[in-house]
């Protein structure tokens, strides 16, 4: 119970002191967190469907429902964000679909990130593994030798826009970023290099991120793996953890999440 308390307490965006909970209270709260994780993909589908049909009344209703879900797990900032968005939809005289789409994308990105953080926190506890594949990968990472000098990051994504976003966000950072567009190119690169960190897209043609992660480990490359994803479905997250994910970056990525996640894994 102490481990799950520590992990949940570290999640940004949850405004509740789990350290003061009894074991029974923590189990009840963990149930609420898992219910949120299971329910969010359906809510996301409803939100996107309402946006696509420009049914702003329905979109407002879906947002209110999501707000209630977030309130139930004490995610106060996101609760307020959804409530404010719903209020805007109800009061605005003129609604720009472009503006609404951009705002919804930002909201969904924030909620997806929270959902993934929750799943990472409760993964070992729920699976009963006491460590699991993700923990094993982390142990390997600790034991792996680090490059001297500038830290090397290998990013793999078949969409050039995301690679360019990473380049922009890491400009001026103490990291050397190398970008390739396929798993095959990544494997050729690591034949002679030992990256300190891997950033892998999950959905890629030919060789997806899961398969690439396995091949990276087979090549005895033990740098932490961050997966790029916009999908918070449990099966996606669990599969990523099983192949050694240390963390996730949620699409669309921004500078704040990039610069907050990477130093925790490889320093500066």
pLDDT band at 104 (very low <50, low <70, confident <90, very high): very high
- In this prediction, residues 210-230 reach a mean pLDDT of 96
Greater pLDDT, 146 or 192:
192
Domain positions in the chain: 2-127, 132-266
Distance from the first to the final alpha carbon of the chain: 32
For residue 149, what pLDDT is reported? Answer: 73
pLDDT band at 128 (very low <50, low <70, confident <90, very high): very low
- In this prediction, residues 185-205 reach a mean pLDDT of 96
Q: What is the mean pLDDT of the chain?
A: 89
For residue 162, what pLDDT is reported? Answer: 92
Tokens at residue 266, please? 């490889």
Percent helix / strand / coil, the chain, rounded to 5: 60, 10, 25
For residue 11, what pLDDT is reported? Answer: 92
For residue 126, what pLDDT is reported? Answer: 55
Tell whether the model's pLDDT for residue 129 goes beyond 80: no
183 burial (CB, 10 Å; 0-12 / 13-18 / 19+) is buried
For residue 64, what pLDDT is reported? Answer: 96
- In this prediction, residues 57-70 reach a mean pLDDT of 96
- In this prediction, residues 132-139 reach a mean pLDDT of 37
Superfamily name with CATH number, domain 132-266: Response regulator (3.40.50.2300)
For residue 148, what pLDDT is reported? Answer: 55
Tokens at residue 53, please? 């049909």
Tell whether the model's pLDDT for residue 255 goes beyond 70: yes
Q: Of 238, 212, 144, 150, nearest to 199 (Cα)? A: 212
Tokens at residue 200, please? 């892998």
- pTM of this prediction? 0.85
| Portion of the chain with pLDDT greater than 90, in percent | 76
- Determine the distance from the C-alpha atom of residue 258 to the mean position of all C-alpha atoms in its chain, rounded to a whole number: 11
- In this prediction, residues 35-62 reach a mean pLDDT of 96
CB contact set of 17 (below 8 Å; sequence gap of 6+): 9
Which SS3 state, helix, strand or coil, does residue 181 take?
coil
Greater pLDDT, 9 or 129:
9
Residue 91: cis peptide before it, omega within 30 degrees of 0: no
Distance CA 76, CA 97 (A): 27
Distance CA 120, CA 145 (A): 25
Tell whether the model's pLDDT for residue 137 goes beyond 60: no
Tokens at residue 64, please? 């209110």
């Amino acid at each position: 119970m102490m481990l799950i308390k520590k992990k949940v307490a570290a999640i940004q965006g949850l405004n509740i002191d789990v350290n003061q909970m009894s074991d029974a209270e923590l189990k009840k709260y963990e149930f609420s967190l898992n219910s949120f994780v299971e329910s969010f993909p359906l809510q996301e589908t409803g939100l996107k469907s309402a946006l696509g049909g420009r049914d702003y009344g329905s979109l407002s209703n879906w947002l209110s429902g999501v707000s209630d879900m977030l309130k139930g797990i004490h995610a106060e900032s996101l609760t307020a964000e959804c409530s404010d968005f719903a209020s805007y939809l109800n009061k605005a005289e003129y609604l720009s679909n472009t503006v609404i789409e951009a705002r919804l994308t930002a909201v969904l990105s924030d909620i997806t990130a929270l959902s993934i953080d929750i799943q990472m926190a409760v993964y070992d506890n729920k699976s009963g593994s006491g460590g699991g594949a993700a923990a094993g990968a982390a142990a390997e990472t600790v034991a792996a030798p680090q490059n001297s000098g500038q830290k090397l990051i290998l990013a793999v994504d078949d969409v050039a826009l995301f690679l360019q976003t990473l380049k922009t966000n890491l400009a001026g950072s103490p990291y050397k970023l190398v970008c390739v567009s396929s798993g095959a190119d990544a494997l050729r690169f690591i034949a002679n290099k030992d990256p300190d960190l891997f950033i892998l897209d999950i959905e890629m043609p030919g060789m997806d991120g899961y398969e690439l992660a396995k091949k990276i480990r087979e090549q005895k490359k033990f740098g932490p793996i961050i997966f790029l994803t916009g999908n918070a479905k449990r099966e996606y997250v669990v599969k990523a953890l099983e192949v050694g994910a240390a963390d996730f970056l949620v699409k669309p990525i921004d500078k704040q999440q990039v610069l907050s996640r990477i130093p925790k894994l490889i320093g500066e």
